[in-house]
Amino acid sequence: MVSWIVRGLLIVSGTVTGWFVSKDAPNFSFIQGMASLVVIAVVVLVLAYWPARWMHLIDRRNKPD
């Protein structure tokens, strides 16, 4: 299961890295690793701030009638 997540992240970061750096470049894997760290950071930020941002719309119990 974890390997699927890692594989998906590397596919996304490899695609983004491929737009800017040639796949034959000697530092492609390093830049792909840095891009995957950016993708992980974005995913963590979205998951961390999603409840605080949208919970007031979902949770109707705390609203006065």
| Average model confidence (pLDDT) across the chain | 82
Which residues, including other chains, have CB under 8 Å from residue 28's CB and lie 6 or more apart?
17, 21, 22
pTM as predicted: 0.66
21-38 tens-digit pLDDT? 988 999 988 998 898 899
- pLDDT at position 47 is 79
Paired tokens of 13 = 């970061």
The alpha carbon dihedral of 7, 50, 41, 44 has a sign of negative
Q: In whole angstroms, how far apart are CA 31 and each of 12, 14, 43, 45, 59?
A: 13, 9, 18, 21, 41
Cβ proximity of 40 and 9 under 8 Å: yes
Which residues of the chain carry a pLDDT beneath 50? Answer: none
